[in-house]
Amino acid sequence: MTVMRRMRWDDMSEADRAALCHRGLDDIFNPTLRDSIGRIIEDVRVNGDDAVCRALRDFDHIRLEAHQLRVSEAELANATVSAAVDAAIDEAIAHLRTFNNTVRERASDWIVESEPGLFVGEKITPIASAGLFVPSGKASYPSVAYQLAVPATVAGVPELALVVPPVPGGGGEVDAAVLVVCRKLGINDVFRANGPAGIAALGFGTDTFPKVRKVVGPGSPAVTCAQVEMQRHGVATMMLLGPTESVVLADNSADPIRLAADLLIEAEHGTDSAVVLVTTSLALADKTDIELARQLDLLPEVRATAARAALGVNGGCVVVTSLAAAAAVVNRYAPEHLQLVVHESVRQPTLDLLTEAGEILVGQHTPFSAANYVLGCPASLPTSGFAHVSSGITVETFLKRTAIATSDETAMLRLAPSIIALADHEGFPAHAAAMRLRLSQ
C-alpha cells in the first residue's frame, strides 16, 4: 500500500486533471453550509451579542454571558507561555516586522508629471479598521495571530480587533499564547466567539464588538463561508483562506527522508488538507512513499489520519516527464504553499517558470514549518486556486491607495478637446459643458 495516490500527468484525462486541481470550493460553497452560516449571520445582525452567545452554546458547547465575550485587561496582562515559546514569538515578530516594513517602504506615496502642468500620483494610507480572526479547535495558533497582527500594526490600522474561539472543552478560556501575542503587539480589543458568529459580529458591530471594515484570517470552510457571505453586507475579506494545501516540486536530487518530512508538514493539519508531490523521478516517488509510511507511524493517530487523507484522496504524487511540465502542473494547481527541490544547476530556470503560488520556498533548508512560524514571509495565503489572482496577507492587505491629480490651466485647456469629444460620444453634456466653459473664458 502506498501513502500517496500515484498519478502520471500524461496519462490523466482532462477531467482527472481538473479534479486534482479543484479543491476546497465545494465545501466552502456547499448550499447546506451556506444556509446554516446565513442563519447565524442573520441572527447576529438582528440580535447582536445574544446571538454570539447562542452560537457559542450551540456549536462550541460553551455557555457565556454577553459581558464575558470581551477578553478582560487582566486576562491579557496575566497570560503566560513557556520561556521558549515567548522567545520564539519575539523572533517571529521581529522577522515579520522586517519583511512588512520593507513592503511598506516600497508602497510609498508617489507623483509624476505626465505632461507639462499635469501631475498624477498616489497617496498610501491604512484602512480605518480591521478584524483579525484566529482559529482554534484543532490546535493552538499564536502563529496565525502574529501573522495577521504584525502586518496590520505595521500598516498603522488605527482600530484593530481580534476574535478567537475559546479553547474546546473549557469554560471560555482563550489560548494564552494568542493573548501573549496580542499583548506584545498592543492589541487590546480581543473577543472570544464562535468563528462565523464572531466574524458577523465584527462586520455588523454589536454592543460588545466594534464594527470593522475588513475581516481577515484563515479557518474552516464554515469560517471562510462566513467571510464570503459578509461581503454581501459590505465587509471586505480575503479570497480565500480555506483548508491548507501544499505542493513540492522535486527532481531526483531530493533527499527522500527530508522530502517525506516536508510533505507531512501541511498534511497533518486536517482531513480537508491537500498535499501534492510533483516529480520527474518515479524512483524518488517510490523512496519517498516508503519514508512517508515510516514517518507516519511516528505521528499521533489524529495527525496521521489527516496526513493520509491529504496525501491520498485529496492529493498524491504526480509524475511528469520534465521540469517544464512540472512547472506547468504547479502553475495550474496554484498552491497555497510551494517548495522547490531541484538540483542547483536547474534551480533558477525552474523558479523562473513558477508564477502561480502563494509562496515559493527554495531548497530543502527552507521547509514549510519555517515559513509558517519565523521566516517573516506571509503564511496566511490564498487557497483553492486563488493564488492565481491574489496574494498572502502582508502590510499591503491593510493599506489603500488614493489617486491624486493636479493640473494647471495650460494642461487642462490642452486636454479639453479630448474630454469634450469623449463626453459628447458617451452622452454626458454636463461633462462637456464644464470643459467648454473653461475654453470660453
Annotated catalytic residues are 336-337
Alpha-carbon distance 213 to 439, whole Å?
A: 43
Name the pairing type of β-strands 159-164 and 359-362.
unpaired
DSSP 136: -
Locate 19 and state its grid cell.
479534479
DSSP 214: B
Place of cell 506615496: 109
Task: Compute the half-sphere exposure of residue 95: CA atoms within 13 Å on the CB side of its CA.
Answer: 17
Q: What is the helix, strand, coil percentage profile of the chain, to 5?
A: 50, 15, 30
Measured in whole angstroms, the distance separating CA 340 from the mean position of its chain's CA atoms is 20
Residue 217 burial (CB count, 10 A): 28
Of the candidates 388, 329, 377, the residue with the CA atom closest to the CA atom of residue 353? 329
Contact 335, 247 (CB under 8 A): yes
Locate 382 and state its grid cell.
490564498
Name the pairing type of β-strands 399-407 and 118-126.
antiparallel
Locate 25 and state its grid cell.
470550493
Alpha-carbon distance 283 to 286, whole Å?
A: 5
Place of cell 515510516: 294
Of the candidates 89, 41, 63, the residue with the CA atom closest to the CA atom of residue 192? 63
Alpha-carbon distance 441 to 413, whole Å?
A: 11
* Coil vs helix vs strand at 307: helix
422-to-116, 405, 432 alpha-carbon distances in Å: 22, 20, 8
Name the pairing type of β-strands 110-115 and 118-126.
antiparallel
Name the pairing type of β-strands 159-164 and 189-192.
parallel
* Coil vs helix vs strand at 436: helix
* Residue-level length of the chain: 441
Q: What angle do CA 55, 177, 244 make, to 5 degrees?
A: 65
